[in-house]
Amino acid sequence: MAILTDKTKLTLGVEVVLNTTSNPRTIQLVATGDLTTDGVTLDTVYEALKLFWRNDSTLPKFQFPMNPITNEQFDLVADAANVGWDWKDDTTRYLIKTGGWAIKDNAGVSKEEWAGIISLGSIAGADQPYFIQVAGGTVVNFQNTGPINQAVKVYGDLTHDNFDYRSYFQMFIRTQGKIYASAALTDIGQTVMTYKVYAFPLAESTDPTILDSDVTVGAFGITATWYAAPQNRTIGGVSYPFHVIIDGNSKTAEEIYEGIELMLRKATDIDKGAGTKIGKITNALAIFTPGVGLQTLLDSVGGVYIDNILTTDINRIKYTDDSGTVRSSPFIAALTLTFNSNLVNDTNANFHVYFTTNPTGDFGTADAVVVNDATPAAMTGSVGGLTSKTYTFAYEANVQGGRTAGTDAAITVVAIGLATAQYVLATGTIGRNTTNTVALSAALERNYA
């Protein structure tokens, strides 16, 4: 922004037009000459008015318009007859930068108060920030896109719109493909506003997880429901309460995050339930950290959980419950069995996965224990023409046969066919990862008829 800060660039009757015959008397700023639509600081207007009053023969007959509190806070005052000063119109008000003001009567009582709002941080010039002045209230766009430096009316008496918004303010920047941000009064340690400048930390940056268009993401079918009563979900065998449930619709963690972010840019109700939640002013529900995964956040009503996720994403999603505690599922390992062509081509081929050693019985004994997947169901079945088959394994919870949970599992896998695949045995380990693999390569059967 090229905000004007030189008082000598403001000329009476050109950039600044005064009306001393109206009630209230008015000051008009005109974007012409050296004053552009980028505006002028309030302090510069004050200094220019001092020059006008000093150098003009007529103006000193009237009450000087402004009383400085600081160089960013001013009163527009009234004379003994209670004829005061005001800005001509909103066009003028929105040209004023880095300042807040009050319109006062001759007793010093505020009729209007305007706070100066400034953003700290990077916002692209084409991106539209917006704000609300009541929790859950109407969305109002700032006058300009990009970084914010604008006055906002926070109070008006009975004759000046009759509202008091001094106890709440929240601003947002939410742009497709970028990390969202918001800031409220409490974020800058304030509870009540007055007519001065407030600087809010508000910045955006590229979101590397948002890769799809809104049209594509809209088809993912991600929805959210807010509940009045807690909804319990079981994580690691323990039930925890949540008040917001997102339906992941069997999409990847990245796609669920994209769906959530799209909802939070909507100007319509995104609550699939009976309530109303306008997307653009709803709290952030999740964050995604590349290389780590998705984590839900604590909403104003409680914790956020995601139903219907992919099994392969269990280790990449964490949930914040109603207490604000982050919960994660016990680690789920993956085991992939690969089959050679002799097993694939044998319609009778089957396989079994055993613990190599187990307190109940080792492989090679009548008490050998078949390994269960995370469902739990036995890891045994038909090859069925597949070249590979992947199982999940409850690494931190499986205690089959008295084994110690959270430890690597030595396994023995056997497979046998009839017409084309001989008996084959292979050993391996299920470790705490998702890349465990055991290859089964059966010799060609030449004797079975």
- Tell me the C-alpha to C-alpha distance, in Å, between residue 260 and each of 220, 277, 356, 424: 10, 13, 44, 48
Measured distance CA(433)–CA(392) in Å, rounded:
10
CB neighbourhood size of 94 (10 A): 18
Nearest to 139 by CA among 285, 283, 300, 278: 278
Nearest to 93 by CA among 149, 138, 164, 34: 149
Measured distance CA(403)–CA(292) in Å, rounded:
29
pLDDT per residue, tens digit, the chain (449 aa), is 599 999 999 999 999 999 999 999 999 999 999 999 999 999 999 999 999 999 999 999 999 999 999 999 999 999 999 999 999 999 999 999 999 999 999 999 999 999 999 999 999 999 999 999 999 999 999 999 999 999 999 999 999 999 999 999 999 999 999 999 999 999 999 999 999 999 999 999 999 999 999 999 999 999 999 999 999 999 988 999 999 999 999 999 999 999 999 999 999 999 999 999 999 999 999 999 999 999 999 999 999 999 999 988 999 999 999 999 999 999 999 999 999 999 999 999 999 999 999 999 999 999 999 999 998 999 999 999 999 999 999 999 999 999 999 999 999 999 999 999 999 999 999 999 999 999 999 999 999 98
CB neighbourhood size of 250 (10 A): 15
What is the per-residue pLDDT across 128-186, written as a single tens digit (0 to 9) for each?
999 999 999 999 999 999 999 999 999 999 999 999 999 999 999 999 999 999 999 99
Say if CB 98 and CB 42 are below 8 A apart: yes
